Amino acid sequence: MSVIELKNITRIYKTGSVSVDALKGIDLTIQEGEFVAIMGSSGSGKSTLMNIIGCLDRPTSGNYFLNGEDVATFTKDKLARLRNQTLGFVFQAFHLLPRTTALENVELPLLYREEELSWKEIHKRAREALDIVGLSDRVEHTPNELSGGQKQRVAVARALVTRPDVLLADEPTGNLDSRTSLDLIDMLQRLNREGLTILMVTHEPEIANFAERIITLRDGLIIKDRQSVQMQASEALKNWKDVDEIEYENSVSL
Ligand SMILES: Nc1ncnc2c1ncn2[C@@H]1O[C@H](COP(=O)(O)OP(=O)(O)O)[C@@H](O)[C@H]1O
Ligand SMILES: [Mg+2]
């Protein structure tokens, strides 16, 4: 089944007398279980598209069907519920609450549910999510006590704790070094194999190659949409050489 279906979506930003056509007619269908990368240079409309798919913003025209339902017909409450339960978000800049432990950051989305969960259940689910991202030993750490890669893992745990159907990630590796990026992508690939649908924005071709489908935007239009031979981050990690190792080898060969 298609999880996401966009039909001729446009988005015009109006600022004073200036208007920007950020999206000029996007047709896009995403099936359940896909791992899709969205590429394109800065200003091509990637974030605008993600915000519309994530129901954080509405299109100027066109139709958006989420799990077969027309998003335009949804009430505010239903949209809030969708953002909380059907969709999970990860951003380049992590957006974690400072001075708040990893566990509390991950618990947050569960506090906004209408269905009351017991504290015991909330703690349990948050710990499970942190376990999935490999951070069981950092639950009491605050963001400033975590590395960039660990912060992004907390952000992924927070996105997963509500058990969403779709994970939307806007440049999730943008603030990470290449080794840490690989670790994160490896984790996303694992989650995808278990059934999570993933849409990931990146401007780095090396990162896009870890998706199974690559969509390229230019000036608010899709100019390319192709299946790709998906590279496995686990394989790339096996072949990874630490800078330390390379420096050591260089010094030995000198
Ligand atoms: N809130 C906004 N108000 C006005 N213009 C915007 C806004 N957000 C984005 N834009 C413009 O829309 C275009 C697409 O932006 P964006 O979706 O952020 O691109 P990308 O994420 O690919 O870099 C750009 O020209 C940008 O300047
Ligand atoms: Mg962007």
38/49 Cα distance (integer angstroms): 9
* Domain residue spans of the chain: 2-253
Task: Name the token pair of 205.
Answer: 């071709």
List CB contacts of 5: < 8 A, sequence separation 6 or more: 28, 29, 30, 63, 64, 65, 68
Are 216 and 223 in contact by the 8 Å Cβ rule? The answer is yes
Per-residue DSSP letter, 136: G
The helix/strand/coil state of 28 is: strand
116/17 Cα distance (integer angstroms): 47
Residues with Cβ–ion distance below 5 A, ligand 2: 46-47
Ligand 1 environment, Cβ below 6 A: 13, 15, 20, 22, 40, 42-48
Atom nearest to 23 CA in ligand 1? 14
4/199 Cα distance (integer angstroms): 10
**Which of left, alpha, beta for 16 (phi over 0: left; psi -120 to 50: alpha)?**
left
CATH code given to domain 2-253 = 3.40.50.300
CA 9 to centroid of ligand 1, rounded, Å: 15
Residue minimizing CA distance to atom 5 of ligand 1: 13
The helix/strand/coil state of 166 is: strand
Q: Which helix (H) or strand (E) holds 104?
A: helix 102-111
In the chain, the amino acid numbered 92 is: Q
Query: pLDDT per position in the chain (254 positions), as tens?
Result: 799 999 999 999 999 999 999 999 999 999 999 999 999 999 999 999 999 999 999 999 999 999 999 999 999 999 988 888 899 999 999 999 999 999 999 999 999 776 788 999 999 999 999 999 999 999 999 999 999 999 999 999 999 999 999 999 999 999 989 899 999 999 999 999 999 999 999 999 999 999 999 999 999 999 999 999 999 999 999 887 766 666 666 676 65
Residue minimizing CA distance to atom 25 of ligand 1: 43
CA 117 to centroid of ligand 2, rounded, Å: 35
Given 3-state DSSP classes, what are the helix, strand and coil percentages for the chain, each rounded to the nearest 5?
40, 25, 35
Are 31 and 1 in contact by the 8 Å Cβ rule? The answer is yes
Per-residue DSSP letter, 244: H
- pTM, full prediction: 0.91
